């Protein structure tokens, strides 16, 4: 490391002690690459390390975290998405360099784009209206992430001015954009929670989405029903003799699971001193020994329950509900508005979306259900694909129709009015197009 600017040996020693030591080993384990990180401990450094790995879409099969005094060591067993060890030298070098610099923090700049933050109550066709406003005001969407959970939405949208091709600098246009989006988010009954603003903060987008959902207290809202029964099991107990609170999370394994849990523990101002993560088949088992930043364990039953609720929400926010559709086509102004309008007109509710552009191409991922939250009829999916383009819109995963649907056909649910679950897809589409039913994601 370069020492330019350092004028004494003590400063050099501080920098050397603060710089994480990274060792990557492909020889020890036959099924995974071992990544070891040890460094001086500071709040949030575990999250920074996990973020480096998950941003590369690596799977963390096992992990051991240990902190002793002012020092910590993390050991991660990682593979690629196909379950293979990492062999690409450029990837290994990137991991080593990125982990070696986490003590100095990173930047997640807007790259010359305007960043919009949207939050509020979810409803059918919301994204269709949002992107219609963007197209009307000549704002090109370059990248976006959209999450829904317990009836709420959180979204980050990176846009540029269609005319200048750069960030929006016209203050009047920014004010008009914020006002229009805020009105869209308010709908008929969301005056208090609807928020649309230009963000000046520089933060990792998925960290920010977790913060936005947490701030809107999505963990306290009880959905009318859940699309999936894979509710994570979370327990919290105190180990009085050692002064730790022990948190256990058991749930279905998936990419970025450890990031989501550690992200929320960090945002709640807890410090992870020790942890063990194991995965077997499709299940994950996570155990954390935590304290407050002041060194004390969880002190009350309400706090214990809040931790359980928050971690369950953290796991569920990224849950992939519905059919995964992948759109890859030539990008053009108003593309997203057209696609979302087609989804809306055919009864598809977007539960999660990742929008990106690669040069002149749009590479987008959508997770969709029907208007009630059930799996979509495959015939409707095929019709939508024909409308958008069979070669452009691919079905990544099409689940079988949920058995619970037939068991619940005689039930009814009130969502600002009666929603009869026994209605067929066509009738349901007509109802929500008339504004008589809303999403219950």
CATH number for the domain that contains residue 29:
3.30.70.260
Domain presence at residue 193: no
Domain presence at residue 264: no
Contact indicator for 42, 52 with CB cutoff of 8 Å? no
For 45, half-sphere exposure in the C-beta direction (CA atoms, 13 angstrom radius) is 25
Q: Among the three residues 89, 106, 123, which one is the final residue of a domain in this structure?
A: 106
Mean pLDDT, residues 82-87: 94
Domain identity same for 65 and 94? yes
Residue 417 pLDDT exceeds 60 = no
Structure confidence by residue, pLDDT tens digits, 130-187: 999 999 999 999 999 999 999 899 999 999 998 888 888 889 999 999 999 999 998 7
The per-residue pLDDT for 319 is 79
At 410, list the tokens.
């005689």
Domain presence at residue 25: yes
Domain presence at residue 410: yes
Residue 314 pLDDT exceeds 80 = yes
Domain identity same for 67 and 100? yes
Domain identity same for 68 and 135? no
Domain identity same for 335 and 392? yes
Domain presence at residue 262: no
Domain presence at residue 231: no
Domain identity same for 62 and 124? no
DSSP 347-407: T-EEEEEEEEEETTEEEEEEEEE-TTSSPPPHHHHHHHHHHH-TTTEEEEE-PPPPHHHHH
Residue 81: domain span:
20-106
DSSP 232: P
Domain presence at residue 2: no
Between CA 28 and CA 47 the distance in angstroms is 25
Alpha helix positions (H), 19-169? 45-55, 89-100, 126-136
Contact indicator for 405, 374 with CB cutoff of 8 Å? yes
Domain identity same for 344 and 427? yes
Between CA 68 and CA 91 the distance in angstroms is 30
SS3 274: strand
Domain identity same for 50 and 144? no
Domain identity same for 33 and 124? no
Domain identity same for 94 and 144? no
Which bin fits 295, alpha (ψ -120 to 50), beta or left (φ > 0)?
left
Domain identity same for 327 and 414? yes
Between CA 129 and CA 256 the distance in angstroms is 30
Q: Among the three residues 106, 133, 161, which one is the final residue of a domain in this structure?
A: 106
Domain identity same for 52 and 141? no
What percentage of the chain exceeds 70 in pLDDT? 80
Alpha helix positions (H), 148-217? 171-186, 205-215
Domain count across the chain: 2
Between CA 223 and CA 189 the distance in angstroms is 17
Residue 397 pLDDT exceeds 70 = no
The per-residue pLDDT for 333 is 87
Between CA 296 and CA 435 the distance in angstroms is 50
Q: Provide the pLDDT confidence category of residue 426 given band limits of 50, 70 and 90.
A: very low
Q: Among the three residues 106, 130, 161, which one is the final residue of a domain in this structure?
A: 106
Domain identity same for 339 and 426? yes
Torsion of CA 229, 230, 231, 233, to 10 degrees: 130
Contact indicator for 96, 56 with CB cutoff of 8 Å? no
Between CA 275 and CA 370 the distance in angstroms is 39
Between CA 117 and CA 195 the distance in angstroms is 8
Domain presence at residue 250: no
Mean pLDDT, residues 38-54: 90
């Amino acid at each position: 490391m370069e020492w330019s600017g350092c004028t004494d040996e003590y400063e050099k020693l501080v920098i050397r002690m603060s710089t994480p030591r990274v060792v990557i080993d492909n020889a020890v384990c036959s099924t995974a690459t071992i990544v070891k990180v040890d460094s001086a401990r500071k709040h949030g450094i575990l999250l920074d390390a996990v973020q480096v790995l998950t941003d590369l879409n690596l799977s963390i099969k096992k992990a051991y975290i240990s902190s002793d005094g002012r020092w910590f060591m993390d050991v991660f067993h990682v593979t690629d998405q196909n379950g293979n060890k990492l062999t690409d030298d450029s990837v290994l070098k990137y991991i080593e360099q990125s982990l070696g610099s986490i003590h100095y923090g990173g930047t997640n700049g807007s790259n010359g784009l305007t960043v919009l933050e949207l939050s509020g109550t979810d409803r059918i066709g919301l994204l269709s209206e949002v992107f219609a406003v963007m197209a009307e005001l000549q704002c090109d969407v370059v990248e976006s992430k959209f999450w829904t959970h317990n009836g709420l939405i959180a979204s980050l949208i990176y846009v540029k001015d269609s005319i200048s091709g750069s960030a929006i600098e016209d203050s009047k246009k920014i004010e008009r954009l914020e006002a229009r989006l805020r009105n869209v988010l308010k709908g008929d009954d969301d005056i208090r929670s609807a928020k649309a603003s230009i963000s000046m903060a520089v933060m990792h987008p998925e960290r920010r989405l977790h913060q936005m959902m947490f701030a809107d207290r999505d963990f306290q809202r009880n959905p009318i029903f859940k699309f999936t029964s894979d509710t994570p099991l979370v327990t919290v107990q105190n180990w009085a003799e050692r002064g730790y609170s022990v948190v256990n999370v058991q749930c279905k394994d998936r990419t970025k699971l450890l990031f989501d849990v550690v992200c929320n523990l960090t945002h709640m101002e807890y410090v992870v001193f020790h942890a063990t993560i194991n995965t077997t088949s499709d299940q994950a088992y996570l155990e954390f020994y935590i304290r407050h930043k002041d060194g004390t364990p969880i002190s009350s039953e309400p706090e214990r329950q809040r931790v359980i609720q928050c971690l369950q929400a953290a796991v569920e926010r990224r849950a992939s509900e519905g059919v995964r559709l992948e759109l890859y086509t030539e990008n053009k102004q108003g593309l997203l508005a057209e696609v979302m309008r087609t989804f809306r007109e055919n009864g598809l509710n977007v539960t999660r979306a990742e929008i990106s552009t690669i040069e002149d191409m749009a590479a987008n991922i959508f997770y969709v259900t029907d208007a009630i939250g059930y799996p979509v009829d495959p015939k409707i999916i095929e019709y939508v694909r024909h409308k958008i383009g069979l070669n452009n819109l691919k079905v990544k995963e099409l689940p079988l129709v949920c058995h619970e649907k037939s068991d619940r056909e005689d039930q009814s649910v009130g969502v600002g009015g009666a929603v009869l679950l026994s209605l067929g897809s066509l009738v349901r589409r007509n109802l929500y197009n008339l504004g008589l039913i809303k999403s219950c994601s």
